[in-house]
């Protein structure tokens, strides 16, 4: 494997303002304008400066403003609120955390692991409650998640997941094993041999949530500056081309884009996830597919796939498999990889033969952020006033809400259960220098794809996938 010619991730490289509708199905269908709000003009002073107006930045601003309406809070966003992963994702507002219970137990003991998982359950409901309270119609439907097992190897993983949950005291009401018939009754897919079901997930329209949240924080007095690229983050200072924001606390909420900031090149690896969406499907097709109550769905393959039935009757379906780019580069061109879109369409047709010939109206993607040890974290360095949250992998929709509440408690000095959760203050080691990072991540993605083929052929769990999982940090 030979790395392509490198060019560094860029900061000031904005897309044309008229292009935002084309970013994803969600941007295309979100009500209201996507015309950027005012940028920062000149220097400013604040109590808290937040870099990035995705879910992390906006939830942090939301809870800070609620905790202390007097706080002067400034958010600087390079593009528009919801430009990044927060506006483009699969819309699983789930209780998934990107580190297993056993890994969390190794980090912080059994009590900490269980407390974090329970906090994640609570975060799903909190998102729904705030959306309702703020009048944000984000199509929140708490239908849970059905994960199909479609080979004996996948069924083994389903059983292992349920067994692990039981070991930590989570019962049938949190995660249960499904027979093939039960799983098929939820989702009329091919080759189903069983599955799992958890009620702890809601399907949402992510751009409606993130844009609604930006409106809510503005109503609360937060200044959200759009088209304002941040060039540098330092203690008490955020430097942009238009001016400097001086603040006691500076929060980095840039997730997959983080390596573009000086000094943070190896903090997070941006890995792309890509999605497609069908045109609205006729009722006769939904009768074959099911998904009544809009549970989100996937199967238990290694190279993750995820889907949801949207409120307007489409299937939005995504997966990993797009390459990692040398030097952690992030560019608009990387959002669209025709061979991956084609593979997603094929996979969707194999999974749900009823939509094999459905029209695909939208294709998009975006970078998510992965910490070297695959564990998300949130924290605040009291000495420097620098705060951060991220490394959510593909599980950021509800986790960002927990991060926002946690950062607000840390900044206001509120002693709460949240600030004692094991991910708070956790520091992942940095990623390897290039080209090792490129080689490792792309080899990992390749092995996961090959392992799925092997398991589909033999029915037995792939040893290579187990080895790669350990190498990648779980």
Q: Rounded to an integer, what distance in angstroms lies between the CA atom of residue 122 and that of residue 331? A: 35
Q: Is 461 in the site for ligand FAD (CB under 6 A)?
A: no
Residues 6+ apart with CB under 8 A from 380: 249, 386, 387, 388, 407, 410, 411, 425
β-pairing, 386-390 with 377-381? Answer: antiparallel
The residues in 155-194 that bind ligand FAD, with binding defined as CB under 6 A, are none
Residues 6+ apart with CB under 8 A from 424: 377, 378, 379, 406, 410, 418
Nearer residue to ligand FAD within complex by CB, 273 or 347:
273
Q: Is the peptide bond before 198 cis (omega within 30 degrees of 0)?
A: no
What is the nearest approach in angstroms of ligand FAD to the Cβ of residue 310?
Answer: 12
Would you give the binding string for ligand FAD spanning residues 61-100, x where CB under 6 A is met?
A: ---------------xxxx---xxxx-xxxxx-x------
Q: Is 400 in the site for ligand FAD (CB under 6 A)?
A: yes
Q: Rounded to an integer, what distance in angstroms lies between the CA atom of residue 172 and that of residue 169? A: 10
Q: Is 253 in the site for ligand FAD (CB under 6 A)?
A: yes
Binding residue (CB under 6 A) for ligand FAD from 48, 53, 64, 202: 53
Dihedral of the CA atoms 410, 412, 414, 419 (nearest 10)? -10
Q: Stretches 52-60, 217-225, 342-350, 449-457: which one binds ligand FAD (CB under 6 A)?
A: 52-60
User: Whose CA is closest to 255, among 120, 87, 385?
Assistant: 87
Q: Is 52 in the site for ligand FAD (CB under 6 A)?
A: yes
Q: Stretches 107-115, 121-129, 392-400, 442-450: which one binds ligand FAD (CB under 6 A)?
A: 392-400
Which residue of this chain has its Cβ atom nearest to ligand FAD in the complex?
Answer: 396
What is the nearest approach in angstroms of ligand FAD to the Cβ of residue 143?
Answer: 14
Q: Is 56 in the site for ligand FAD (CB under 6 A)?
A: yes
- In DSSP terms, 75 is beta-bridged to 50, 224
What is the nearest approach in angstroms of ligand FAD to the Cβ of residue 300?
Answer: 16
Contact assessment for residue 280 and residue 314, using Cβ atoms and an 8 Å cutoff:
yes
Q: Is 55 in the site for ligand FAD (CB under 6 A)?
A: yes
CA atoms within 13 A on the CB side of 393: 19
Residues 6+ apart with CB under 8 A from 44: 74, 223, 243, 244, 245, 246
CA atoms within 13 A on the CB side of 255: 30
The residues in 342-371 that bind ligand FAD, with binding defined as CB under 6 A, are 365-366, 368
Between the alpha carbon of residue 174 and those of residues 37, 160, 162, 164, 243, the distances in Å are 42, 15, 9, 12, 49
Q: Rounded to an integer, what distance in angstroms lies between the CA atom of residue 246 and that of residue 360? A: 47
Nearer residue to ligand FAD within complex by CB, 83 or 297:
83
Would you give the binding string for ligand FAD spanning residues 265-294, x where CB under 6 A is met?
A: --------x-x-------------------
What is the nearest approach in angstroms of ligand FAD to the Cβ of residue 14?
Answer: 9
Binding residue (CB under 6 A) for ligand FAD from 26, 97, 170, 257: 257
Contact positions vs ligand FAD (CB under 6 A): 11, 51-57, 76-79, 83-86, 88-92, 94, 229-230, 253-257, 260-261, 273, 275, 306, 318, 365-366, 368, 390, 392, 394-397, 400
């Amino acid at each position: 494997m030979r790395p392509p010619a490198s060019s560094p991730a860029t900061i000031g490289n904005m897309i044309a303002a008229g292009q935002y509708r084309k970013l994803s199905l969600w941007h295309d269908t979100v009500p209201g304008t996507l015309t950027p709000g005012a940028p920062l003009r000149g220097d400013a002073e604040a109590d808290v400066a937040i870099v990035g107006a995705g879910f992390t930045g906006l939830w942090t601003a939301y809870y800070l403003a609620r905790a202390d309406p007097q706080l002067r809070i400034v958010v600087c966003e390079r593009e528009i609120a919801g430009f990044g992963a927060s506006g483009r994702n699969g819309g699983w507002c789930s209780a998934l955390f990107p580190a297993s219970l056993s890994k969390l137990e190794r980090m912080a003991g059994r009590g900490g692991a269980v407390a974090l998982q329970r906090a994640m359950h609570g975060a799903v409901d909190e998102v729904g409650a705030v959306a309702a309270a703020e009048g944000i119609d984000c199509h929140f439907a708490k239908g849970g998640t059905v994960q199909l097992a479609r080979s004996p190897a996948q069924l083994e993983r389903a059983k292992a997941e349920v067994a692990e949950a039981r070991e930590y005291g989570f019962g049938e009401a949190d995660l249960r094993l499904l027979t093939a018939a039960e799983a098929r009754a939820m989702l009329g897919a091919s080759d189903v041999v069983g599955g799992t079901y958890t009620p702890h997930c809601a399907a949402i329209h992510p751009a409606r949530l993130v844009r609604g949240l930006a409106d809510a924080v503005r109503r609360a007095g937060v200044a959200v500056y759009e088209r304002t690229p941040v060039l540098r983050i330092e203690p008490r200072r955020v430097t942009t081309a238009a001016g400097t924001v001086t603040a006691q606390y500076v929060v980095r909420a840039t997730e997959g884009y983080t390596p573009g900031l000086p000094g943070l090149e190896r903090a997070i690896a941006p890995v792309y996830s890509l999605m497609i969406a069908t045109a609205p499907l006729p009722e006769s097709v939904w009768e074959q597919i099911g998904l009544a109550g809009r549970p989100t769905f996937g199967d238990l393959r290694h190279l993750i796939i995820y889907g949801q039935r949207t409120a307007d009757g489409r299937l939005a379906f995504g997966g990993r498999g797009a390459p990692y780019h040398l030097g952690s580069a992030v560019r608009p061109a990387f959002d669209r990889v025709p061979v991956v879109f084609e593979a997603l369409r094929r996979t969707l047709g194999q999974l749900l033969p009823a939509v094999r010939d459905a029209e695909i109206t939208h294709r998009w993607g975006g970078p998510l952020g992965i910490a070297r040890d695959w564990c998300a974290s949130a924290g605040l360095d009291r000495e420097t006033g620098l705060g951060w949250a991220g490394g959510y992998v593909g599980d950021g929709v509800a986790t960002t809400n927990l991060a926002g509440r946690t950062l607000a408690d840390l900044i206001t000095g509120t002693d709460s259960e949240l600030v004692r959760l094991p991910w708070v203050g956790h520091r992942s080691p940095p990623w390897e220098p290039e080209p090792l990072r490129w080689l490792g991540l792309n080899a990992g993605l390749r092995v996961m794809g090959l392992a799925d083929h092997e398991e589909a052929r033999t029915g037995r769990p792939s040893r290579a996938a187990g080895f790669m999982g350990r190498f990648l940090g779980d």
